[in-house]
Structure formats: structure tokens, C-alpha cells
Amino acid sequence: MDRMRQNFIFGYGSLICPLSRAVTAPSLANCLAEPCEVEGIERTWSARVHRAKRDKDSHIRGWTPMGVRGRKGAFSNGVLICVDEEELKRFDVREGGYRRSKIKLSNIYPHFEASEMEEGSGAVVAMEIDRPSEVHHKLDHVKCPKCRQLFEAADRMRRRASSDDTEVNEADSGPGDELAVWCYFQEQSIPADRSFPITQSYIDIILRGCLSISKNFARVGLSQLQL
């Protein structure tokens, strides 16, 4: 029942930045994106974008934006972006060279902000990911009502899987029909090199988005990134 389905995008790179999102979908300019953590996904510098016009005197052929890969035990922080069908189509066009794939609802956790060890010390405690039995009563900080609904559905799925000691088939579990979380995976995974460098301007966009949430969110995001 796609007509009734609520779509979300998991933004893990430039989509964390509100200004970057609004360039693609101006309707999202004043909309909340909820910080979250996704299990089983790892950030990498492994996507590849070719320059439209190449300077024959330059060795630069393009640049390397962020991508993701599936890896058991990995976590990636990012944001949940609540979108309608038209906005989803706009992001599909933006993310050329990536394929949009659904991620498991039960792998999605709310973001909990850790406290700093000492004010002004610069030391930050690593983000703690609450496990299924602990999530249910800790959603007061979630600002987006639809994201709260998603977190509650994800927690129910994990609890059900834990009690049955079996993996839940999310396609048959009810909320999976109504809530869909999409992630953009790069079509090719090729590390950055001299001809396809990682640009500082792109890093700045990602950091600007992370810092709009918190310093700790940015710190953890950088710690999760793999080359």
C-alpha cells in the first residue's frame, strides 16, 4: 500500500546539512531531520563523481564523495528525513550514481547525546547506543512525531525478535508496510586517489550539518568513517 506509506531517507553525508537538503527540496527548508544511528552500515570514501568537463592540463578527473557499505557490527550516525513521493523523486535525481535501497527498520536507533567529560576540556564521551530493552521509554527528546513513530515501531520489532529468538520478517510485520527508510548506496566502490580526491568543500558541508546537531555528533561521525 505505497499510497499510505511514509517514506524516510537516511542521510549520512551532505544530506545531514539542512542547507544542502533544501537545495534539492526547498519544501524541506523548515522541516526537522531527526538524528539517528543505523546498525549494519559503514561510511566510506568510496563513491566516484566524474567532472563534466576535464581540463586537459589537470590530472583531476573528478572527486570522491562519501558512500556506505553493509558491514555486520558497524554503526553509522546520520539523520532521518521525512519525505513525500515528490521529494523522494528529487533526491533520486540528485543522487545520480547511487541506488536507493530500503534498510531494515529494526536496525534504526534514536540518537542519544552523551555528556561532555569536563566543560572546556574538549574530551567527549562516545555516543551510547541504547539497546532494544532500553529505547522504549527514552524518546522524549525526539522532536519529529513521525520519526518517533518509526523508533517505536523499530523497538517493537527488536523486542519481538528477541522474545521469539528469531529474526522478524519485516515485510510481514505491519509497520514495515507503512514506514520505509531508504538509503543511497553508491553504484561503484572505488577509494579516493590523486585523480579523484576528497574535496574540502564537501567535508565542510558534512561537518556543518553534524555540528548543527552537536560537537559530539560530529566527533562520533568522524570516528565511524572508514577509508
Which DSSP helix (H) or strand (E) runs through 64? none
- pLDDT (tens digit, 9 = 90+) per residue, 82-130? 999 999 999 999 999 999 999 999 999 999 886 533 333 333 333 344 4
Note whether 102 and 181 are within 8 A (CB). yes
**pLDDT exceeding 70 applies to what percent of the chain?**
80
The rounded distance, in Å, linking the Cα atoms of 227 and 219 is 16
Q: What is the pLDDT of residue 125?
A: 33
Q: With beta carbons less than 8 A apart as the criterion, state whether 95 and 29 touch.
A: no
* pLDDT for position 59: 82
In this prediction the pTM is 0.84
Is the pLDDT reported for residue 198 higher than 70?
yes
* pLDDT score at 126: 35
